[in-house]
Amino acid sequence: MPKLFCVSLAALLPVISVIGQSVPMSTDSLSAAAAINSIGTDLLHETSHADANALLSPYSIETALAMTYAGADGFTREEMARVLHLRGDAAQIAREFAALQAAIDGVVQRSLAASVSMKQYGVTNDPMTLATANRLFGQQGYDFRPPFLDLLKTEFHAPFQAMDFRKNSAAATKTINDWVEEQTRQRIRNLIPAGALNDRTRLVLVNAIYLKAPWAEPFPGHATKPLPFHAGDGAAVNVPTMTIRESLGYQKFDGFTALTIPYKGGEIQFLILLPDATNGLAALESKAPQLAACANLPSREVNLFLPKFKIEPPTLALGDALQKLGMTSAFDKPRGSANFDRMAPRRPNDYLCISDVFHKTFMSVDEKGTEAAAATAVAMVAALAMQRPSAPVEVHVDHPFIFAIQHRTSGACLFLGHLANPK
């Protein structure tokens, strides 16, 4: 059976001040952000181990599955809503994701405007790149319902592209993979494995996201030097460690420290949750900390020591994890239970189901900033039957920690993972 594919990239609060103007967040976008963060923490728990690096794009995963949810009906729809933390009908949920997308687009537009303005004064100020894209690749001639296609095109900006999976699934696979590679600036390659699509594939729903964001204040390159990092397996390894003294978001919680590092513009930030104990990552993740609650931490002068790192995990199959969370009928378990009648008419011997979910991500963090990318594809197959102190606080990120790329205004995490070993 063909598979459901997924790849990811990076992240979003109610009102913030940016370059002298207020950026309000709607209730709709906050609802979408809450669902994104919830599925991210659920899947990170299900798919990763504390002694290994992990990276997901909750934004990408939830967006692709929210598009799929728009075509679900009956018990399948109820299960998907519960697992994906969605509330309301398909049109309302689509509006929530559209509102969040509009907020993200606004971040990019303000970053570009700031860059143009600074150039007038001879100051180089590279804008943030944050691009997302959705698309439907469907079997030509198949009886997809027009209201489903219209909703995804209007609210998710996901146009339909006809393919011929029946006659040449290999060519269709290449077309989809080439599109993902283009959208992610060549960072996500071969999202859909060879042979994963076949003549029974009817629809592949894809989300791709790419981020390249400079720090608000770059880490000085000359200050980077090897320092020990106590890896997840207990071994101490020397890794290139960046250092900076800066006013950052900082708060001490029970058992861990939360820290945020802003990217240029201050609307997107890098969030760190550092356990007090060197081996405390698993315990911290089990608490499922509220990511949105860390979106607006009080400022404090910090001497920060942070390792450089790059993560490019192998493709993850998320189907089993989603089923463990309770989303089973969408995968046609038990057989005959999948109901995507709002996507295409459900007939006894010809109905749609999800075969599997694959997820692929990339992230690189250095002195200049962060580059990240991801893509998610869902394949549908035809189934048979505080006050600032005078002295700065010193934070050594020298053991496993949770991180996220977060949109401050909504709290939504575009990327979420943990680092067990920077090497």
Residue 58, CA distances (Å) to 207, 356, 375, 404 in order:
11, 17, 11, 10
Q: How far apart are CA 353 and CA 338, in angstroms?
A: 6
Inter-residue long-range contacts of 280-285, CB under 8 Å, 24+ positions, other chains counted: 280/255, 280/256, 281/50, 281/232, 281/399, 281/400, 281/401, 281/402, 281/418, 281/420, 282/50, 283/255, 284/255, 284/256, 284/402, 285/41, 285/44, 285/45, 285/50, 285/402, 285/418
Model pLDDT, residue 23: 45
Q: How far apart are CA 163 and CA 214, in angstroms?
A: 38
* pLDDT tier, 78 (very low <50, low <70, confident <90, very high otherwise): very high
pLDDT at 41 exceeding the cut of 90: yes
Number of CB atoms found within 10 A of residue 359's CB: 28
268 close to 9: Cβ distance less than 8 angstroms:
no
> Which pair of tokens denotes residue 246?
């800066």
In sequence order, what are the beta bridge partners of 299? 249
pTM for the full model? 0.90
Model pLDDT, residue 15: 26
Model pLDDT, residue 2: 34
Model pLDDT, residue 9: 26
> Which pair of tokens denotes residue 43?
């899947």
pLDDT at 11 exceeding the cut of 50: no
406 close to 217: Cβ distance less than 8 angstroms:
no
Q: What is the DSSP letter of 52?
A: S
Under DSSP, is residue 163 helix (H, G, I), strand (E, B) or coil?
strand
Q: Token pair 């989809």 is at which residue?
A: 176
- pLDDT tens digits, residue range 101-133? 999 999 888 887 876 666 665 555 677 899 999
Q: How far apart are CA 185 and CA 181, in angstroms?
A: 6
Q: How far apart are CA 7 and CA 64, in angstroms?
A: 10
* pLDDT tier, 7 (very low <50, low <70, confident <90, very high otherwise): very low
pLDDT at 1 exceeding the cut of 50: no
Backbone angles phi, psi at 3, to 5 degrees: -120, 165
- pLDDT tens digits, residue range 135-190? 999 999 999 999 999 999 999 999 999 999 999 999 999 999 999 999 999 999 99
- pLDDT tens digits, residue range 210-265? 999 999 999 999 999 999 999 977 789 999 999 999 999 999 999 999 999 999 98
- pLDDT tens digits, residue range 268-303? 999 999 999 999 999 999 886 678 889 999 999 999
pLDDT at 17 exceeding the cut of 90: no
pLDDT at 20 exceeding the cut of 50: no
25-34, 73-82, 119-128, 409-418: least confidently modelled range: 119-128
Q: Domains in the chain and their CATH numbers?
A: 4-214+311-383 (3.30.497.10), 221-308+389-419 (2.30.39.10)
